[in-house]
Amino acid sequence: MTSAFTGLLAYPITPLAEDGEVDLDGLEALVGAAVSAGADGVVVLATSGSGVSFDDDERDAVVRIAVAAAGGAPVHVGAAAESAHRVVARARRAREAGAAGLVLSPFAYLPLDDAEVRALYARVAAAVPGTPVCFYNKPVQLGFDVSAEMLAALHDDGSVVAVKDPASPPSRPGGRVAALRTAGVAVGLSGDTALIGDAEPADAWHTGLAALAPTEYVAVRRARVAGTVAADAARDWLLDVARAVADTGRPVAALHAVAALLGTPTAPPRDTLVPLTAADDAALQAVVARRP
pLDDT in tens, 64-89: 999 999 999 999 999 999 899 999 99
Structural domain boundaries in the chain: 2-229
Greatest pairwise CA separation for the chain in angstroms:
50
Q: Which of 228, 259, 227 has the alpha carbon at shortest distance from 241?
A: 259
Would you state the pLDDT for residue 43? Answer: 98
**What ranges in 74-198 are assigned the alpha helix state H?**
84-96, 114-127, 139-142, 148-157, 176-181, 192-196
DSSP E strands: which ranges in 180-221? 186-190, 204-207
Beta pairing class for 41-44 and 101-104: unpaired
What percentage of the chain reaches a pLDDT higher than 90?
A: 86
CA 171 from centroid of its chain's CA atoms: 22
pLDDT band at 4 (very low <50, low <70, confident <90, very high): confident
pLDDT at 230 over 70: no
Q: What is the mean predicted confidence (pLDDT) over 173-183? A: 91
Burial (Cβ within 10 Å: 0-12, 13-18, ≥19) of residue 261: middle
Q: CA–CA separation, 280 vs 257, rounded Å?
A: 10
**pLDDT tens-digit readout, 91-108:** 999 999 999 999 999 988
Under CATH, which architecture does the 2-229 domain have? Answer: Alpha-Beta Barrel (3.20)
Would you state the pLDDT for residue 170? Answer: 64
**pLDDT tens-digit readout, 246-264:** 999 999 999 999 999 999 9
pLDDT at 1 over 50: no
Q: What is the pTM of this model?
A: 0.96
CB 45 within 8 A of CB 64: no
Q: Which of 141, 76, 68, 152 has the alpha carbon at shortest distance from 118?
A: 152
| Non-local CB neighbours of 53 within 8 Å, separated by 6+ positions | 269, 270, 271
